[in-house]
Chains A and B, each alone.
Chain A
Amino acid sequence: MKRFILSLILLSPCVVKAQQDLLQQLEKDTPPETEYAFATFKGTRLGNGHTIETKSGGSMEFIFGHRFGPINGGAYELYGLDQAYVRLGLDYGITDRLAVSIGRTSTDKTIDGYLKYRAVRQSKGAKNFPVSITLLGGMAYRGYPKNNADISPEYEYVDRLSYTGQALIARKFSPALSLQLMPTLIHKNYVESYEENNQFALGFGGRVKISKSMALTAEYYFNMNRPDTSTLPDGVAPYYDAMSIGLDIETGGHVFQILLTNAIGLTERAFITETHDDFFDGAIHLGFNVTRNFQLTKKSRTSN
């Protein structure tokens, strides 16, 4: 009899449990998951430089970067619209975390390429990490001038190369606010006497969404090895840090970025170490980055 009562007591929770709310039970039974931050930025570019974003595996992006001349060129230059500096680029996601790109810039006939790898993703839940980190390694070949001798008698083809190593560190604080830090090292095989071969820059920037499809962006690259204006020989224009403020507009597969920047270069070497225009003196360039996304992999990958 004791056993009978005991079994009744032991079994009674099962009966009670059976009457529990089904949805509550589903919620309870769901194991904790890791939530990764996504869409930290609208595109792969913040302003002149990169964001932590890469193309997802199997998708390709055509990116058209364009900078006009300085606004303070006056009416004669139609406020900069007479000049154009253009980079045509293709980005491709090999996997969701590894992307490769190639591009050509008109400014000094530079061909550049880079690999971009999403090393760590911001996460919460089962796994917790406060930031996303993307690593970028790039190389650029300057095509201008055509003849090596135009620079100096010792100038060789290898001197045309420069390298970029960059860690992009970002945190999406809320759906609307994302901030990013970009420690960057530029190595130039050839520099003038007043420049350093290795230049370290600390970039910082972010975006604030003002609607579902629009965001304001800002970006600044503080070049710690920027040549001091007072040490420059006569006739050499002073160097400035590159900065930009912009507006991202996203429509389906396109992202339009409208920028105001003091840089005309569209590769890291060019805008971080070779910007000669003073933003605060009105040497501001209107610019655009326009991207078009193409999904290249077949639909069969996810359909059942």
Chain B
Amino acid sequence: MVLNLGLLLRIPVAIGFLFFTIKASGQQRYFAEKPSISFFSDGLVEDITAANQKVTSIFDALNGEIAFLMNVKDFQFANKLMQTHFNEKYMESETYPKSSFQGKVTGFNANSSGTQQVKAVGKLTIHGVTREIDVPGTIEVNGGKLKLKAKFLVKLEDYKIVVPQVVWDKIAQQVEVTLDFAYRPL
């Protein structure tokens, strides 16, 4: 009887512990609520800039895994004709509608607060071409939320993005990509 009581007491504790671990691991996952990927390219005639704020992203703080996914068509340009050309001619977004990244963030410690220098290594897919990249960035921990920022260069030829000769002087052969993701626990 005494033994049984002890067992009965342990069961809720065990279940509680199980719940706790699952919940705790759940809290290690973050979902981007305010994502923005923008790029900038300086050309001879005009600077080109566009931003995509419809990116989806998940970051797992436990194992550092990170992924983001976007529709190329969601990049917004001030010049709509440029946006059409970007989709139709350079990114060929009818054929390659999505861009994505999948990789691992190293150097992140969920328990310390403030801004941390991190590095992401993984596969970046643009225009149907997947390449291994590593990118330095920062993660700022603030009240349970995370802010990830990174900046890197993308060479158009690496992703087989061909800019027709007649307009080549308007578009630089590499663009600067800026990531700014605000994550909340999933």
Contact = CB atoms under 8 A, between A and B. Distances in A.
A301 B78 contact: yes
Nearest to A8: B18
Contacts of B25: 18
B116 interface: no
Given A4-B11, A33-B71, A38 B170 contact: no
Interface stretch (B83-91, B106-114, B137-145): B83-91
Interface stretch (A23-31, A99-107, A144-152, A157-165): A23-31
A263 B89 CA distance: 32
Given A57-B80, A301-B78, A251 B67 contact: no
Interface residues on B, range: 35 or more
Interface string B156-180: 0000001010110010000000000
Contacts of A29: 56
B58 A7 contact: no
Contacts of B50: 302
Nearest to A96: B80
B149 to A, nearest CB: 15
Given A22-B65, A39-B84, A252 B92 contact: no
Contact of B89 (A7, A18, A213): A213
Interface in A1-44: 1, 3-4, 7-8, 11, 14-15, 18, 21-23, 25-27, 29-30, 33, 35, 38-39
A26 B15 contact: no
Given A11-B18, A29-B56, A303 B89 contact: no
Interface of chain B, helix or strand or loop or mixed?
mixed
A10 B73 CA distance: 40
B81 A253 contact: yes
Given A23-B102, A213-B164, A304 B36 contact: yes
Interface string A213-255: 1000000000000000000000000000000000001111100
A193 to B, nearest CB: 47
A3 B7 CA distance: 13
26 contacts: A1-B11, A3-B11, A14-B22, A18-B25, A21-B102, A22-B65, A26-B56, A26-B57, A26-B58, A26-B67, A26-B68, A27-B69, A35-B73, A35-B97, A39-B88, A58-B80, A59-B80, A175-B88, A175-B94, A211-B164, A252-B166, A252-B167, A295-B81, A298-B78, A302-B78, A303-B51
Interface of A: 1, 3-4, 7-8, 11, 14-15, 18, 21-23, 25-27, 29-30, 33, 35, 38-39, 56-59, 96, 175, 211-213, 249-253, 293, 295, 297-299, 301-304
